[in-house]
Chain A
Amino acid sequence: MTDKIQVKDVTDDAVKTVDLYQEREKIYVRRIKGFYRNLRVYGGAALFALYFGTLWLDWNGRQAVLFDLPARQFHILGITFWPQDFMLLSWALIICAFALFLVTVLAGRVWCGYTCPQSAWTWIFMFIEEKTEGKRNARIKLDDQPMTLEKFARKAAKHLLWLAVALATALTFVGYFVPIKTLLPQLVTFQVGGWAIFWIAFFTLATYGNAGWLREQVCIYMCPYARFQAVMFDQDTLIVSYDEARGEPRGARKRGIEPSEVGLGDCIDCELCVQVCPTGIDIRDGLQYECIGCAACIDACDSVMDKMGYEPGLIRYTTENSLEGKPSRILRPRLIGYGLALAVMIGLFSWVIATRVPLDLSIERGRGELHRITSEGLVENSYQISLMNMSERDHRYRLSVDGLDDLELIAPPMVEVEAGGVAEFPVRLLINPNELQLPNNEIHFTAEAVEDPSQRVSAESRFFGPARF
């Protein structure tokens, strides 16, 4: 009983506290030239051309790609998607997701580094930053010095240019939902609706905030893909890595010295790879979840190795297995599985799109009694027919029914439905009870365009009669 219980001083003075929330540390990204940067610049240019250019293409007298929300129609080139086609949209998104998984298994986060809009716009904004505030060191200096007229002018120019790019982005984005060729003239003459203004402002600010201020914070804290992509990595996934065996021990040295003579590895500890990293990490600490696979550090390191006269590839795209000296396979069950799933889905999707009939027939059995006996003693069932013309022109449709002999259809002889319209109408079927073998029979309604027999769809329904005992 002489042992004392350990005590801990918890008075306010003794315990140092820290804020639970952390300021973002601004990352000053150095620009670098190199092979992977060129890949990004040209690839990005193509993607930007796609994003800003698609908007101005026309098709059949309307915008080629238009997501018409009020009319609930998505026009993509020659095809119009309706709410009924939501499954197709889902599958299209699932296909995109699987393509992303496949790429991730193969090459890690290259989507993030090269094609993700968040990254692409961030690189654009960084380019503007460089042009207005100068190179990395100049920017750091500029931020440290007190406000001068020059500093203000540079900062103002930067933010104005950022806002201009953001506005162009937002206008383009809204243009996919409101036809751009009516939107722009309306904007110039101040005749635009409140919601359009709101969304343009919203996307402008979102673009400006994301690419200007948040940048890597989106990748680190917000992006769901960043959260779950780690589970797709395996030992054979291409990752940007520093070859520790070759680089360590790092240290400065004169040019032209054989590293082994001074007991050093190939890394000269110039910190360039850290300075070019858009997420501000040191790749030499190994694979980190912040890494977006953009290969800026590879470009930086290769240029240094070149200057030093060493082999390139101290930092390179490689796999964990190769780093450990094991054989690395590209084709592995995980990749083959994703590839097969993707191929099957793309095939089926293309087939469904190619054979799609732009006509929708849905049958709803009349509510209430399952069948009636008319005053003539015939058995009658009623149905609610809904015909949807999903094509680009008006059509007349003829309705027919089969499945039972001598079934009489009481319906309009011809139903006209304008392009993008729906016709709903009740129809009745009559039959002599002697023709009915069963109390419950399968029947098929068929709708066919009068002008175009290829537009023909069938839908199953049931015909009920009196029960037989």
Chain B
Amino acid sequence: MSSFWSFYIIGITTIFLVGIVALIHFTRRMPDSEGVGETTGHQFDGIEEFNNPMPKWWLNLFWATIIFAVGYLIAMPVGNWKGLLNWSSSGQLTNDQIEHERRYGEIYQRLASVPVEDLKDNPQAMRVGQRLFEDNCALCHGQAATGGYGFPNLTDNDWLYGGAGDTIKTTVLGGRNGQMPAWGDALGAAGVRAVAEYVMQLSGQDDVNASLARQGQTLFNASCVACHGQDGTGNHALGAPNLTDNTWLYRIPGESLRDSVQYTVEHGRSGRMPAWADVLGEERVHIVAGYIYSLSQL
């Protein structure tokens, strides 16, 4: 804060306090009314307000609040003045964080030595993991971890990168970058349609044009097997999806599956799972991974 604003705030606060004191001083005395029974002239439904003096302790309470305010302004920060108590909101946060670590750190440490896949038998780890998941992961993957368009479902035990506990932990720690290249230029419009038809056939759809799918198979074997494998079952090392099941990461509800697959082949896809190592730290990620693993084991 520049010194002008600091003085501005301190000045206004001081003027205000002095003003209150002056107000009390100049309104202390009033012309002597002719004894009791004089009214202020306020009337409501025939009920009049008497102009009787207020009790002294009332005024003393007011003084007490003014004295408190002066003490508060000296003790607490105002403008650039740091306050005698040296309190600040960021300092308060730091203290709370230190206190939090002190209280919960040893729980995380104790759980860090448990293998990810065994955490599912530890109720405490599951509670903590669920909380962490809801706070950090549920935004994309959904509260029940059922995923959505472009966000993998974590409950179906169908994994892009593999579902072992440590693999999940690696995914969460470092994030993932799922790249499906665009094949529109290479294959041409007819090629895209043929490949998409073959993919439909692979996944066991029942309205497949067989001759078109045969054309597609040739193209598939030339261009796609490097990632998706000879049989189309995908590759965990690359995160290439299994095309022989009926799990679709990029299927828009209400759109025909064929259109979705064609779009994917033509334009490619780019999926990004962020890295959480710096946000949550390894100990928490360990527990979240345990929770996610437990979801696939239900």
Expressed in whole angstroms, the minimum distance between the Cβ of A19 and any Cβ of chain B is 6
Q: Which of A1-24 contact B (CB under 8 A)?
A: 15-24
Expressed in whole angstroms, the minimum distance between the Cβ of A445 and any Cβ of chain B is 14
Q: In the complex, which residue of chain B has the Cβ closest to the Cβ of A18?
A: B32
A368 to B298 Cα, complex, angstroms? 22
A374 at the interface (CB under 8 A from B): yes
Q: In the complex, which residue of chain A has the Cβ closest to the Cβ of B28?
A: A20
A466 to B254 Cα, complex, angstroms? 9
Q: Are B144 and A17 in contact (CB under 8 A)?
A: no
Q: Which of B14-64 contact A (CB under 8 A)?
A: 27-33, 52-59
Q: Are B130 and A382 in contact (CB under 8 A)?
A: no
Q: Are A366 and B57 in contact (CB under 8 A)?
A: no
B interface bracket (residues with beta carbon within 8 Å of A): 20 to 34
- Mark each residue of chain A from 429 to 468: 1 if its CB lies under 8 Å from any CB of chain B, else 0: 0000000000000000000000000000000000000100
B231 at the interface (CB under 8 A from A): no
Question: In the complex, which of the residues B33, B148, B248 contacts A369, with contact meaning CB atoms closer than 8 Å?
Answer: B148
Q: In the complex, which residue of chain B has the Cβ closest to the Cβ of A416?
A: B123
A388 to B34 Cα, complex, angstroms? 67
A355 at the interface (CB under 8 A from B): no
Q: Are A18 and B55 in contact (CB under 8 A)?
A: no
Expressed in whole angstroms, the minimum distance between the Cβ of A368 and any Cβ of chain B is 5
A466 to B253 Cα, complex, angstroms? 9
A362 at the interface (CB under 8 A from B): no
A334 at the interface (CB under 8 A from B): no
Count how many pairs of residues, one from A and one from B, have CB atoms less than 8 Å apart in the complex.
Answer: 91
Known: A18-B32, A217-B55, A374-B156. A366 touches B245 (CB 8 A): no
Q: Are B56 and A18 in contact (CB under 8 A)?
A: no
Q: Are B146 and A428 in contact (CB under 8 A)?
A: yes
- B contact patch SS: loop
Q: Are A21 and B146 in contact (CB under 8 A)?
A: no
Q: Are B245 and A17 in contact (CB under 8 A)?
A: no
A221 at the interface (CB under 8 A from B): yes
- Mark each residue of chain B from 238 to 254: 1 if its CB lies under 8 Å from any CB of chain A, else 0: 00000001111000010
Q: Are A214 and B57 in contact (CB under 8 A)?
A: yes
Q: Which of B264-298 contact A (CB under 8 A)?
A: 298
Expressed in whole angstroms, the minimum distance between the Cβ of B291 and any Cβ of chain A is 11
Q: In the complex, which residue of chain A has the Cβ closest to the Cβ of B158?
A: A375
Specify which chain B residues have a CB less than 8 angstroms from the CB of A376 in the assembled complex: 246
Q: Are B143 and A24 in contact (CB under 8 A)?
A: no
Q: Are B253 and A369 in contact (CB under 8 A)?
A: yes
B162 at the interface (CB under 8 A from A): no
B142 at the interface (CB under 8 A from A): yes
A377 to B248 Cα, complex, angstroms? 12
B155 at the interface (CB under 8 A from A): yes
Q: Are A21 and B59 in contact (CB under 8 A)?
A: yes
A286 to B207 Cα, complex, angstroms? 98
A384 at the interface (CB under 8 A from B): yes
A225 at the interface (CB under 8 A from B): no
B145 at the interface (CB under 8 A from A): yes
Q: Are B143 and A20 in contact (CB under 8 A)?
A: no
Specify which chain B residues have a CB less than 8 angstroms from the CB of A221 in the assembled complex: 55, 58
Q: Which of B119-169 contact A (CB under 8 A)?
A: 123, 130, 138, 142-146, 148, 155-156, 158
Q: Are A17 and B30 in contact (CB under 8 A)?
A: yes
Known: A22-B54, A221-B58, A424-B130. A16 touches B143 (CB 8 A): no
A125 to B156 Cα, complex, angstroms? 73
A17 to B27 Cα, complex, angstroms? 11
Specify which chain B residues have a CB less than 8 angstroms from the CB of A374 in the assembled complex: 156
Q: In the complex, which residue of chain A has the Cβ closest to the Cβ of B155?
A: A428
Q: Are A21 and B145 in contact (CB under 8 A)?
A: no
Specify which chain A residues have a CB less than 8 angstroms from the CB of B158 in the assembled complex: 375
Q: Are B57 and A20 in contact (CB under 8 A)?
A: no
Q: In the complex, which residue of chain A has the Cβ closest to the Cβ of B62?
A: A21
Known: A374-B156, A375-B246, A410-B298. A21 touches B142 (CB 8 A): no
Q: Are A372 and B57 in contact (CB under 8 A)?
A: no
Expressed in whole angstroms, the minimum distance between the Cβ of B130 and any Cβ of chain A is 7
Q: Which of A414-432 contact B (CB under 8 A)?
A: 416, 424-428
A388 to B123 Cα, complex, angstroms? 16
Q: Are B146 and A18 in contact (CB under 8 A)?
A: no
A377 to B52 Cα, complex, angstroms? 81
Q: Are A375 and B28 in contact (CB under 8 A)?
A: no
Expressed in whole angstroms, the minimum distance between the Cβ of B85 and any Cβ of chain A is 15
A20 to B31 Cα, complex, angstroms? 9
Known: A217-B57, A221-B55. A18 touches B29 (CB 8 A): yes
Expressed in whole angstroms, the minimum distance between the Cβ of A227 and any Cβ of chain B is 13
A20 to B57 Cα, complex, angstroms? 12
A383 at the interface (CB under 8 A from B): yes
Q: In the complex, which residue of chain A has the Cβ closest to the Cβ of B32?
A: A16
Q: Are B245 and A19 in contact (CB under 8 A)?
A: no
A22 to B28 Cα, complex, angstroms? 11
A16 to B247 Cα, complex, angstroms? 94
Q: Are B245 and A375 in contact (CB under 8 A)?
A: yes
Specify which chain A residues have a CB less than 8 angstroms from the CB of B55 in the assembled complex: 21-22, 24, 217, 221
Q: In the complex, which residue of chain A has the Cβ closest to the Cβ of B54?
A: A21
Expressed in whole angstroms, the minimum distance between the Cβ of A416 and any Cβ of chain B is 8
Question: In the complex, which of the residues A22, A373, A383, A416 contacts B144, with contact meaning CB atoms closer than 8 Å?
Answer: A383
Specify which chain B residues have a CB less than 8 angstroms from the CB of A368 in the assembled complex: 142-143, 148
Question: Which of A20, A377, A412, A425 has its CB near the most chain B CB atoms (within 10 A)?
Answer: A20
- Mark each residue of chain A from 383 to 415: 1 if its CB lies under 8 Å from any CB of chain B, else 0: 110000000000000000000000000101000
A346 to B298 Cα, complex, angstroms? 48
Between-chain CB contacts (< 8 Å), 26 pairs: A15-B31, A15-B32, A17-B30, A18-B30, A18-B32, A19-B28, A19-B29, A20-B29, A21-B55, A21-B56, A21-B58, A22-B55, A221-B55, A221-B58, A366-B142, A366-B143, A368-B148, A372-B253, A375-B156, A375-B247, A383-B144, A384-B143, A424-B130, A425-B130, A428-B144, A428-B155
Where the two chains meet, the residues of B that have a C-beta atom closer than 8 Å to any C-beta of A are: 27-33, 52-59, 123, 130, 138, 142-146, 148, 155-156, 158, 245-248, 253, 298
A375-B248, A424-B130 known; 16 new pairs, CB 8 Å cut-off, are A15-B31, A15-B32, A18-B30, A18-B31, A18-B53, A20-B29, A20-B30, A20-B53, A21-B55, A21-B58, A22-B52, A22-B54, A368-B148, A375-B245, A412-B298, A416-B123
